[in-house]
Amino acid sequence: MTTTATTSLRVWNDADPTTLLLDTSDGERIARELAAIGVRFERWSADALLAPGANQAAVIEAYRSSVDRLIAECGYRSVDVIRLERGTPDTEPLRKKFLDEHRHAEDEVRFFVEGRGAFYLHVGERVYQTVCVKGDLIGVPAGTKHWFDMGPDPEFTAIRLFINPDGWVANFTGDTIASSFPELDA
């Protein structure tokens, strides 16, 4: 994968997607801003080289020490990988599925080991767009309204950790707020 991108955080008032309240690529500032709303954000090493087409087991094994550390720290019992390479056919239905605001019954934790994707967090009267890239760990607390955009031609690999995969099922809010904010790559 060849995507070169920078982690960023943009914040808007949820009623005004035209006026940015914050726009930063400073990792420490991003971590502080997200911590203030209960979201875990950390920069980790993601230096393992993955072969093109590496399967789930190979990705998890390449990052076994990081995965094991999170399991020990947080009690996760299930780990999987989502990997989309640029040019993968028929990704639009998958993208659209997560472009609507939803919640999960448990934390959504992702460690990006390649590429990038954007989490939009709707907390109080603010929307926080966090573009996560290789090396970013994000933990969105259970019940947090959010949506995820992988872009029109996705390219990313993320390790996902759960206590119970059933808790990761998306519960859609029915709110159309996501359509008001800029998509990744817009």
Give CA–CA dist 132/174, Å, rounded. Answer: 25
Domain around 149? 8-168
How much is the pLDDT for 136? Answer: 97
How much is the pLDDT for 69? Answer: 93
Is 131 in contact with 103 (CB distance < 8 Å)?
no
Q: Tell me, yes or no, whether 181 lies in a domain.
A: no
Taking the CB of residue 107, how many other CB atoms lie within 10 A of it? Answer: 20
Q: Tell me, yes or no, whether 124 lies in a domain.
A: yes
Q: Tell me, yes or no, whether 179 lies in a domain.
A: no
68 pLDDT more than 90:
yes
For residue 133, report the phi and psi dihedrals to the nearest 5 degrees: -130, 180
75 pLDDT more than 80:
yes
Q: Tell me, yes or no, whether 112 lies in a domain.
A: yes
Residue 109 is part of a domain; what is its CATH number?
2.60.120.10
Q: Tell me, yes or no, whether 182 lies in a domain.
A: no
Helices and strands counted in the chain (H then E) = 4, 11
pLDDT by residue (tens digit) across 150-182? 999 999 999 999 988 777 789 999 999 999 999
Confidence of residue 4 (pLDDT cuts 50, 70, 90): low
Q: What is the mean pLDDT of residues 96-119?
A: 95
Q: Tell me, yes or no, whether 153 lies in a domain.
A: yes
Q: Tell me, yes or no, whether 129 lies in a domain.
A: yes
Total domain count, the chain: 1
Give CA–CA dist 39/107, Å, rounded. Answer: 10
Mean pLDDT for all residues in the chain:
93
Q: What is the mean pLDDT of residues 53-74?
A: 94
Q: Whole-prediction pTM value?
A: 0.93
Structure tokens at 79: 């780990």
| Nearest CA among 132, 86, 85 for reference residue 109 | 132
Helix, strand or coil, per DSSP, at residue 123: strand
How much is the pLDDT for 185? Answer: 86
Residues in the chain: 186
Q: Tell me, yes or no, whether 178 lies in a domain.
A: no
